[in-house]
Structure 1
Amino acid sequence: MDLGVILAFVMFGVFLALLLIGYNVAYCFAGTAVMFTFIGDLAGVFDPSSLALLPSRWFPTLSNQTLLAIPFFVLMGAVLEQSGVAERLLRSIGLVMGNLRGGVAIAVIIVGTLLAAATGVVAATVIVMGLLSLPTMVKYGYDHKLATGAIVASGTLAQLLPPSLVLILLAQQMNISVLGLFRGALLPGLLMAGLYIAYVAVVAWRRPDAAPAMPQEERDKVAGIHIGREVLVAMVPPVLLIAAVLYAIFGGIATPSESGAVGALGALVLATANRKLSWEMMRKSLRSTADIVILVMTLLFASTFFAQVFERLGGQDQATRWLSSIGGGKWGFVVVAMIAVFLLGINLEFLEITFIVVPIFVPAMLALNFTEADFIWFTVLMAINLNMAFISPPVGFSLFYLQGVKPDEVRTASIHRGALPFMGLQIVALVLVAAFPAIVTVLL
């Protein structure tokens, strides 16, 4: 192994060390790239003039129409969150299912799934669902572990269900169709939501005290006709909006960017109809959207700089040779890649993982003759894997999001223990999708 390759992997190690210490990921990318540009130049294994190629890598990324979908979908979710649509939706579904044991938890999973599809951002979904539903379930006597597990698991589906920010970025980094990835991820996402609902139903059947029905006095507060009207007004409009956006994308009527723009407009119309449209709501929604978009673009610039230096030092070629020579061919690579993604996902956000590992994986996948369908299948496996990592104790990010908004009577240990059964269900989903790729490819 020559000196350049050694420096490339030392650079990668320094980058991970800085990241785990707690430095901003964009600064870690750019800082280590600058540092090893000078070190490589002094060692005579790196030509700094090669950095002149960076603009030619940045400009195609900036002109990529796919990335336009990000601010539109984030704005759509932020408006739905800030305008109280999610709160009203949860209340209406909870009233309908309140007669069932475990009905409120099932309502949380349904609303969490819908909100995940609307926002595409895990933190927003988990925090909103935690604020809205956890105090209610605690009040009704739900087992704290079941209540918190349902929230973090359904909220984390924002990484998998289209139109997900994760899927858009993965498609851009993998150089595959966003539409194809959205189609491939839809059934696995619904499969996971179905597994969660089935688990809650089984717990409610075997342990009625852990998942009681809504108390009678709560149900008596609203007459049946009021419940029907509340469901009609609160549930139908946001569900129709989400369905229309997805239908436009899947049906080829509009591009993801165009659908996102219409979805953002539709969210503003719903906010107006709910009399929640205000300058303050718009300020918060636009600020949230700007924060995420700026973060994504900063990471794009910094990670491309890092990748250029890593590649010029010879690290990319060596990583490709190692990954493509793993025993077992495609399956051997998939197993190793999934282990790496899961371990990184315990400590890192999906953005960091996307920009760290995907540039390393793609050349190896090409060397192993992955088809476009294989790329989509592998990317969906990555998204499911990231779901697992996000709720895995003790440092899963979704657990931290919920800890920040939990009532005082809910212990942190209950949140961590409650995530374990749902993590097991995610493993089941991962194995099913890996063993039966048709779950992903049937809609392609």
Structure 2
Amino acid sequence: MAEFLPLWLFAGVCVCLLFGYPVAFSLGGTALIFAAVGSLFGTFDGVFLEALPNRLFGIVRNETLIAVPLFVLMGVLLEKSKLAERLLESMAMLFGSMRGGLGISVILVGMLLAASTGIVGATVVTMGMISLPTMLRRGYDPALATGTICATGTLGQIIPPSIALVLLGDVMSNAFQKAQLEMGIFSPKTISVGDLFVGALIPGLILVVFYILYVIIVAWLQPHKAPAVPREELHSGSNEPLVLQLFKGLLPPLILIFAVLGSILTGVATPTEAAGVGALGAALLAWASGKLSLKTLKEAVHSTTKVTCMVFMILIGASLFSLVFRGFGGEELIQDFFSQLPGGVVGAMIVVMLLMFFLGFILDFIEITFVVVPIVAPVLLAMGLDPVWLGIMMAINLQTSFLTPPFGFALFYLRGVAPPEVKTQSIYKGVLPFIIIQLVVLLMLSIWPDLATWLPEQVYAD
């Protein structure tokens, strides 16, 4: 019975979450209760809790995690500057006159917005409020419109600079070092957030291309679902030439995105330093658009503080949970379980991906990254898997989970801002083809891991 205490600990956390308790306190509180009871009956090794002060000190001085509030601030400021509205107008002028053109515009704008904000919820809500009424007014099928917006919004999970990749990169780095020590390998090689950023570029672009191809195919086979918009209706009402309008709408965010990603790819800046550049650039864009007031700045800082506090509180709770889990022998239990699975590393990978997929129905990516990944990643990496490939597979897997009915977070975000006439059934129906697309990309990554590993090897080659 005692050997299964780690599983009971995990089940206890799930019960607390189902009762609606905050994630951070569910993790930490449940762990402390189990540790106290386990100490009384002699089933818990309290030595592990002695590492808690050092673990917490390491969290607050982790330079990589400083990128989180900076990227969040960047995204909030861009949202306040009405960037998405100008981007959608510019893209619609380019593609709106062709069948499916408005859907293509939404995908491209969502991609840029995902690269700008890095937050799934913010992208889905923003695109839902701006583009969904326009698509419905132009005669788009509600299922196609809502599916496109939900799928595009989840690109914030994989398109760098993504908050999910920042957190996942930090956790994977620790897991990689731990796996090397367990294998007796003493190598200077490390895994950074920049590796995941670079590794996510090709899979992220493949997803965008497949989304666009799907919209084009639907518009070609069923024109009534994605009609073209008459050219005269695409004019924004401005007397400026079309080229100048496109230039003003597209150039500022593109410069900001290339400044952030380019500085990381060229090695000029670390992800944390690039996040600082992004936050400053977003503030300048908001100022240039006349949207940067003292009130706006206070709201942006307040939102950033709330998100940052949530992330770090969950990380502290997850660290306590992880230590208690190890104290009950949870790591050995996981290793024994994986070693006995049929299929070896392939079987272990399938089990982990399925577990994370279903946990994505009830947990956000932050909890899964801080709780599940530190437990399973060292075991998988010790089996010989590439850390960059594993990180990208996990990110796309969670992205698919957030899109899957009936519990996908992206569906709830869009349902909250969609007009009442849009049925929930239409949203569920609309995302199914995009789920299939993401599963196809996951299969492609499984068959050709170089899709995730080739570019980092080229960029960071000595």
TM-score (norm 2): 0.92
- Picking from 4, 7, 21, the partner of 2:5 is 7
Superimposed CA distance per residue, residues 146-187 of structure 1 (whole angstroms, 9 cap, x where no aligned partner)? 101110101101010111110111111111311111111111
- Aligned counterpart, 1:262: 277
- Structure 2: state its 5+ residue gaps: 174-190, 457-462
Structure 2 CA distance for aligned equivalents of residues 439 and 420 of structure 1: 24
- Aligned counterpart, 1:66: 64
1:423-442 aligned at under 5 Å gives the runs 423-442=435-454
**How far 1:397 sits from its partner (Å)?**
0.2
- Picking from 205, 216, 233, the partner of 1:218 is 233
Q: How many residues are treated as equivalent by the alignment?
A: 439
- Picking from 413, 420, 431, the partner of 2:425 is 413
**How far 1:220 sits from its partner (Å)?**
5.2
- Structure 1: state its 5+ residue gaps: none
1:97-136 aligned at under 5 Å gives the runs 97-136=95-134
Structure 1 CA distance for aligned equivalents of residues 327 and 165 of structure 2: 28
SS of 1:443's partner is helix
Deviates more, 1:152-161 or 1:315-324: 315-324
Identity among equivalent positions (%) equals: 46
Q: Name the amino acid aligned to 2:224.
A: D
TM-score (norm 1): 0.96
- Aligned counterpart, 1:286: 301
Structure 2 CA distance for aligned equivalents of residues 197 and 366 of structure 1: 34
Structure 2 CA distance for aligned equivalents of residues 89 and 254 of structure 1: 27
**How far 1:330 sits from its partner (Å)?**
2.1
1:246-261 aligned at under 5 Å gives the runs 246-261=261-276
Superimposed CA distance per residue, residues 78-105 of structure 1 (whole angstroms, 9 cap, x where no aligned partner)? 1001111111111111122111111111
- Aligned counterpart, 2:414: 402
Q: Name the amino acid aligned to 2:142.
A: H
SS of 2:361's partner is helix
Asked whether the 8 Å contact 1:96–1:227 carries over to 2, the reply is no
- Aligned counterpart, 2:367: 352
- Aligned counterpart, 2:27: 29
Q: Name the amino acid aligned to 2:405.
A: P
Asked whether the 8 Å contact 1:321–1:364 carries over to 2, the reply is no
Q: Name the amino acid aligned to 1:243.
A: F
- Aligned counterpart, 1:201: 216
SS of 1:141's partner is coil
- Aligned counterpart, 2:340: 325
Asked whether the 8 Å contact 1:117–1:158 carries over to 2, the reply is yes
Structure 1 CA distance for aligned equivalents of residues 46 and 349 of structure 2: 35
Q: Name the amino acid aligned to 2:430.
A: G
Kindly indicate whether residue 395 of structure 2 is the aligned counterpart of residue 380 of structure 1: no
Asked whether the 8 Å contact 2:93–2:235 carries over to 1, the reply is no
Structure 2 CA distance for aligned equivalents of residues 309 and 219 of structure 1: 59
Asked whether the 8 Å contact 1:334–1:378 carries over to 2, the reply is no
SS of 2:360's partner is helix
Seen in structure 2, the aligned counterparts of structure 1 residues 9 and 232 have a Cα distance that, compared at 3 Å, is same
Q: Name the amino acid aligned to 1:141.
A: G
**How far 1:47 sits from its partner (Å)?**
4.1
Structure 1 CA distance for aligned equivalents of residues 379 and 339 of structure 2: 5
RMSD value, Cα: 1.5
Seen in structure 2, the aligned counterparts of structure 1 residues 62 and 325 have a Cα distance that, compared at 3 Å, is farther
- Picking from 154, 157, 177, the partner of 2:192 is 177
Asked whether the 8 Å contact 2:46–2:327 carries over to 1, the reply is no
Q: Name the amino acid aligned to 1:163.
A: P
